[in-house]
Amino acid sequence: MAEKHTKHQVVIVGGGITGLTLALCLQHLKVDYVLLEAYGSIAPDVGASILLFPHGQRILDQLGILDKLQSAGLPQGILDYRDGVTGQSLRRSNFGDIFRRRHGYSLLWSSRHRILRALHEAVAEPQQRLLVNKRVTRIDSLPEGVLVHTDDGSAYEAQIVVGCDGVHSTVRKEMWRHADLTDPQCVPEADRGDVGCEYGCFFAASKCTPVVTETVEPGAGALISLQDGQVVLGRGLDDEIRNAPSTTSPRFTKEDKERVLDRFRDVVFGDNGVRMQELFDNLIRSGVTALPHYTLRKWSSGRIIAIGDAVHKFNPVAGQGGNSCIDSCALLVNALQEHLGTDLANMPSWPLPSLSQAFEDVENASVGKVTTLVEESQNMIRLLSWRRWYDKIMYRYIVPYLPAYFLLQPHSAAIVTGVRLRGPSSSPRPSTIGYMTRKESLGNQ
């Protein structure tokens, strides 16, 4: 029997890092929300790993869950740049200590599953708040709210709906549909066009646990073999599939995965000459996926907003994707408090003009910054895969001798513009580089 119509202040569509982080932000404010997950598990044991930079950790520290996440992950300190053909280590640096001195937090690496599980366990009333097997089919506008329908016949009314449902976002599609009804010029045509998709990604978990290393193999792709048995391997795609509609992405077969394994079996990633074959012989799980990269310009219409991978997508090499998703959650709840008031939980009605201003603030603070970060991530994977004629020269003969502060500058530039949640405090963290204020951050866009 279909569930009865229920009413909340916020409907979150999609779990993952974005959805669960937003749930915890709303929980802190005592806002009534429900999260709808299309699949049967909130924290599935799939995917590869997540790297948390200081600005992402700071938000999670404010939410009181950083200690739990640290127990579920591993600190990433020493990074090894290696030539995958000769096995030669080109550079070895302790970046973790540098980040800690600069920004108060080191680098935290964990499997996606462990981080999702830690976030899930921090949710109060999970059975009432986190609903699985709830695939959204349609969003209708109400005079003072929205109505979210799911494929089992249920309906959820709310003041706003937030799409955290990833690359193939239903909420984004519904946002476009509503925008076309009210303001056909609202969504730029570029947002609905093809997006870049230069690389595919082989990801896996292996019983073999290597050191942290970035390894290149000429003409094939960037290879990152990481702690906790996690492997992420990027390979350039053929020219004819390097663009794809934003609503779809290239699909890969079992045979495609086998070709990737064959291509990388002899790549050396350790000081003792150990090759990727050792990892492949001890796989626990693995998969292949495309790596589209984009930043959409319009994230909202009416009472609908999409954040996270639904509106911006990174390749995994630079590690900024998950952190940008966390950042967007903080931006959104901050903007809601700024334009509606700090006591959101006790506001029975959220006026649309105030919501529009809040959503516009999120877009203004995010689009320019994320666009830059996405392109920097692409440049990094191009460098590591020697995609351009000068990348091999840069990687082999220049990067090994550059000062650490120069290599880390793009990451630090992203970190210092990171958002701080309004209200909750975090543990004191001495740092040599301060975070920007909101006004300073917007001035850099």
Which of 403, 106, 93, 92 has the alpha carbon at shortest distance from 270? 92
The predicted model scores a pTM of 0.92
User: Residue 266 — very low, low, confident or very high, per pLDDT cuts 50/70/90?
Assistant: confident
253 falls within a domain:
no
Quick count: other Cβ atoms within 10 Å of Cβ 180?
13
Strand order in the sheet with 136-142: 6-7, 155-158, 145-150, 136-142
Tally of residues, the chain: 445
Angstrom CA distances, 169 to 129, 364, 386, stand at 21, 21, 33
285 falls within a domain:
no
Which of 162, 137, 146 has the alpha carbon at shortest distance from 305? 162
- Which range of residues forms the domain containing residue 31? 6-42+109-191+294-382+406-443
345 falls within a domain:
yes
Domain count, the chain: 1
The 10s digit of each residue's pLDDT in 99-114 is: 989 999 988 887 788 8
The 10s digit of each residue's pLDDT in 124-138 is: 999 999 999 999 999
Burial 118-143 (b: 16+ CB within 10 A, else e): bbbebbeeeeebbbeebebeebeeee
**What string of DSSP letters covers 379-430?**
HHHHHHTT-STTHHHIIIIIGGGS-HHHHHHHHHHHHHT----SS-------
pLDDT of residue 60: 94
206 falls within a domain:
no
Whether pLDDT at 242 is above 60: no
Whether pLDDT at 233 is above 80: no
The 10s digit of each residue's pLDDT in 22-33 is: 999 999 999 999
The 10s digit of each residue's pLDDT in 319-366 is: 889 999 999 999 999 999 999 999 999 998 999 999 999 999 999 999
User: Residue 240 — very low, low, confident or very high, per pLDDT cuts 50/70/90?
Assistant: very low
309 falls within a domain:
yes
Whether pLDDT at 228 is above 80: no
pLDDT of residue 77: 64
pLDDT of residue 87: 77
pLDDT of residue 290: 83
* CA of residue 280 relative to chain centroid, distance: 26
Widest CA span of the chain, in angstroms?
A: 67
CB proximity list for 200: less than 8 A, separation 6 or greater? 234, 235, 237, 250, 252, 256, 260, 288, 289, 290, 291
170 falls within a domain:
yes
Select the more confidently predicted residue: 96 or 158. Answer: 158
pLDDT of residue 1: 41
- Amino acid at residue number 258: E
Query: Which range has the top average pLDDT, 288-292, 305-309, 315-319?
Result: 305-309
Average pLDDT over the chain, rounded to whole?
85
Percent residues over pLDDT 90 in the chain: 46
Angstrom CA distances, 338 to 292, 316, 359, 361, 422, stand at 34, 33, 11, 10, 9
CB proximity list for 239: less than 8 A, separation 6 or greater? none
117 falls within a domain:
yes
397 falls within a domain:
no
Which of 316, 291, 286, 189 has the alpha carbon at shortest distance from 236? 291
pLDDT of residue 29: 96
Range name among 74-78, 160-164, 254-258 with the lowest pLDDT average: 74-78
pLDDT of residue 211: 54
Percent residues over pLDDT 70 in the chain: 86
Please report, for the domain that includes residue 159, its CATH number: 3.50.50.60
User: Residue 71 — very low, low, confident or very high, per pLDDT cuts 50/70/90?
Assistant: confident
Quick count: other Cβ atoms within 10 Å of Cβ 54?
27
* Mean pLDDT confidence for 49-64: 91
